[in-house]
Amino acid sequence: MKKIIFIFITGLIATSLYGQNPDSITIDDYYVDFAVPDITAFSILDINSSDVVRPGNIKELAVGIQNYIDADGSLKPGLAIEIAPYRLMAKALKVRSAWEQNKSFKNLQISIGTAQGDSSNLLAAWGINWTPIDRTDPVASKALQNFFANYLANRDSIANQMSFAGQRRKHLQDVNQFINSLSTLAGSALSPAEKVAILQYFSGGYRNRLLRYDSTDNQLYAIALKDSVVQEMVRLNIAINNTQDQTLSTLIAQNAKLTFTEQKEEKEFEKSFSEALKREKKIFIEENWNRLVVQFKTGSKYNSAENSVKDLALLNWRVFAGVAGRVPGLRNSNSTFAKRSQVIYQVSYINYKEKSMSLNWEFSTGGRLLLGKADKRLSAEFLYSQASLRGETTEKSEYIRYTIGGEMKINDGLWLELAVGGQKFLEGNDDARVVPQFGLKYAIQKKSRF
Amino acid sequence: MELVQFNKNGGPVSIDVDIANANVWSYIYASDLTFTNKSSTGNPSHHILGLPVNLDDDINSWDIRLGNIGTSDITATVTITWKQDGHILNVWTQPVDVPAGAATKVSDDALLDA
């Protein structure tokens, strides 16, 4: 595949060099960018993503906002909060079931931010990103979830060996039997609460026991455990004879063996789980990279001359919608073309309220056909754009762009793109009109791909 | 270590296992009978341990495994509720942190007493 892409790209470069006019073409003229736009409050205001706060509950959210918005409506710069309402609300038990029934809201994110303007003014923005359907997401895949549920359950399968829970129960039954043989100095049997007070030293998760006694050495663990048990017995006025002391030592040795064996095996299991997860996710993405994705995004930017909520003035707002998936009609097909093709359709609209902008609004729509695999593919793109020019004229700018090329994933988020394309103005200033020509587009970009 | 006390003249003792905020899990509950369940079955997690006469002075142990196949850390909550004749005998609940792309296990035991 790499060879095919190399030959194809070499051909494109040769064609583009032949056709292009260096005086009138820039790379951006031919750049039809079908990457998903980043419409968050932070990208609108150029806020560094490392400054973004993601509160884990309603209380943290309220505290975060209060620091930047006073009760009288005064605004301060520096607010940068992103919330995922599903996760926020799912933690509140009363509404958990209702939110769990609406899985589509799981990928809803709301962002708000404030930043200092050029002078004494303050800028504010909000953004909403919602991906109601994403069948390329391995985390949301029921099949993958079930695979790993079975993976976990198989570890405790009692078909081949006794589970750790079963082994611990048997061990604690032996300890309980030993405790039943004890009595206080007054000659009375131990109460259930007193029995639990001793049993607790032998029980629970292996991690807790290791932390409680010693995490590295079998013998130190046994000594520390015995010290704790004997101290508890003294507190409960229990005296033991030599035979009972030997039995206690035997039980403690069993507990130490059980604990360190479990620690070793669980460590190996956790490692194998993570490795299996990486492997299965990779397989999933290779098989489902072109499945259905639906996205909606919207956001607005405001200016406040007096740093107050009351005088916020709208500067611009934008909306985006995108759908990506297999070629229509091939959803369930097993053909090579179905597995190795993807169509994308996007619509974007921006409305500018600020007088300094040369446009009133801008609308664009277009599509893309991809052929290849998840990490390397050829593409053909088409974009139509219309914009209303600000000023005395009511003229519109209208053009189309088209490219063909290839793209290759270098690593997560980093893509190499090579393509040739053209642009043609359909309406607008005659001076700006250009005839279709080809130019080379190349970019290494670190963006999320649709 | 939990102490679950019940009425020796009452009806069967049962448990309800609830796992919240984790979509990949499995558990094993070891008593005289062994109960297992996992997130892939979709079955309700209600189990009848048995009659009081068979449960007195018994030990029950359980291991609950949680997997996180996502890219963000999660905090799940696991709860076991022991019931008899509609009354709640005891509730064991634990928050469990599960790092992204990892699995973890939480365990405990109970002494049952009539």
**What is the distance in angstroms between the Cα of A194 and the nearest Cα belonging to chain B?**
10
* A166 burial type by CB count under 10 A (0-12 exposed, 13-18 middle, 19+ buried): middle
- The A residues from 9 to 28 touching B (CB cutoff 8 Å) are none
Q: Are A82 and A111 in contact (CB under 8 A)?
A: yes
pLDDT at A6: 45
- The A residues from 245 to 274 touching B (CB cutoff 8 Å) are 266, 269-270, 273-274
Q: Measured at the alpha carbon of residue A130, what is the angle toward residues A128 and A131, in degrees to the nearest 5? A: 160
Alpha carbon distance A148, B23 (integer Å): 10
Alpha carbon distance B101, B90 (integer Å): 33
Q: Across the interface, do B28 and A203 touch by the CB < 8 Å criterion?
A: no
pTM metric for this prediction: 0.75
Q: Are A286 and A236 in contact (CB under 8 A)?
A: no
pLDDT at B57: 96
Q: A–B: how many Cβ contacts below 8 A?
A: 134
Phi, psi torsion values for A237, nearest 5 degrees: 60, 45
Q: Across the interface, do A146 and B40 touch by the CB < 8 Å criterion?
A: yes
Q: Is A103 helix (H, G, I), strand (E, B) or coil?
A: helix
**Amino acid present at A158:** I
Q: B25 — contact with chain A (CB < 8 Å)?
A: yes
Q: Which of A149, A166, A266 is nearest residue B30 as measured by Cβ atoms?
A: A166
Chain B residue numbers touching A93 (CB-CB < 8 A): 20
Chain A residue numbers touching B102 (CB-CB < 8 A): 270, 273-274
Q: Are A370 and A360 in contact (CB under 8 A)?
A: no
pLDDT at A225: 95
Chain A residue numbers touching B70 (CB-CB < 8 A): 139
> What is the number of alpha carbons within 13 Å of residue A20 lying toward its C-beta?
22
Q: Across the interface, do B102 and A274 touch by the CB < 8 Å criterion?
A: yes
Q: Is A279 helix (H, G, I), strand (E, B) or coil?
A: helix
Q: What is the DSSP letter of A229?
A: H
The total of other beta-carbon atoms located within 10 Å of residue A15's CB is 14
By CA distance, what is A139's nearest residue in B? Answer: B70
pLDDT at A36: 65
Q: Taking every pair of C-alpha atoms in chain B, what is the biggest distance, in angstroms?
A: 50
pLDDT at B30: 95
DSSP A153-201: HHHT-TTTS--HHHHHHHHHHHHHHHHHT-BBTTSPBPPHHHHHHHHTT
Q: Are A142 and A312 in contact (CB under 8 A)?
A: no
The β-bridge relationship of strands B102-113 and B2-5 is parallel
**Amino acid present at A58:** I
Q: Which of A90, A168, A273 is nearest residue B61 as measured by Cβ atoms?
A: A168
The total of other beta-carbon atoms located within 10 Å of residue A187's CB is 6
**What is the distance in angstroms between the Cα of A104 and the nearest Cα belonging to chain B?**
15
What's the complex ipTM? 0.97
A389-437: pLDDT as tens digits: 887 666 788 888 888 888 788 877 677 778 777 777 776 555 444 444 4
**What is the distance in angstroms between the Cα of A275 and the nearest Cα belonging to chain B?**
9
By CA distance, what is B100's nearest residue in A? Answer: A274
Q: How far is CA A450 from the centre of its chain?
A: 15
Q: Which residues pair with A80 in a beta bridge?
A: A113
Alpha carbon distance A283, A301 (integer Å): 41
Alpha carbon distance A384, A362 (integer Å): 11
Residues of chain A with pLDDT under 70: 1-36, 87, 89-103, 158-161, 392-394, 413, 427-450
**What is the distance in angstroms between the Cα of A335 and the nearest Cα belonging to chain B?**
30
Q: B20 — contact with chain A (CB < 8 Å)?
A: yes
- A209: phi > 0 → left, psi -120 to 50 → alpha, else beta; which? alpha
Chain B residue numbers touching A277 (CB-CB < 8 A): 67, 69, 101
A250-268: pLDDT as tens digits: 999 999 999 999 999 999 9
Those residues with Cβ within 8 angstroms of residue A135's Cβ, 6 or more apart along the chain or in another chain: A141, A288, A291, A292, A293, A325
Chain A residue numbers touching B108 (CB-CB < 8 A): 203-205
Q: Which of B25, B60, B70 is nearest residue A152 as measured by Cβ atoms?
A: B25
pLDDT at A159: 60
Q: Across the interface, do A192 and B102 touch by the CB < 8 Å criterion?
A: no
B19-78: pLDDT as tens digits: 998 989 999 999 999 999 999 997 779 999 999 999 999 999 999 999 999 988 899 999
A319-363: pLDDT as tens digits: 999 999 999 999 889 899 998 998 999 999 999 998 888 889 999
Q: Which of A156, A203, A277 is nearest residue B1 as measured by Cβ atoms?
A: A203
Chain A residue numbers touching B61 (CB-CB < 8 A): 165-166, 168-169, 172, 203
- A270: phi > 0 → left, psi -120 to 50 → alpha, else beta; which? alpha
pLDDT at A260: 94
Q: Across the interface, do A145 and B24 touch by the CB < 8 Å criterion?
A: yes
pLDDT at A27: 39
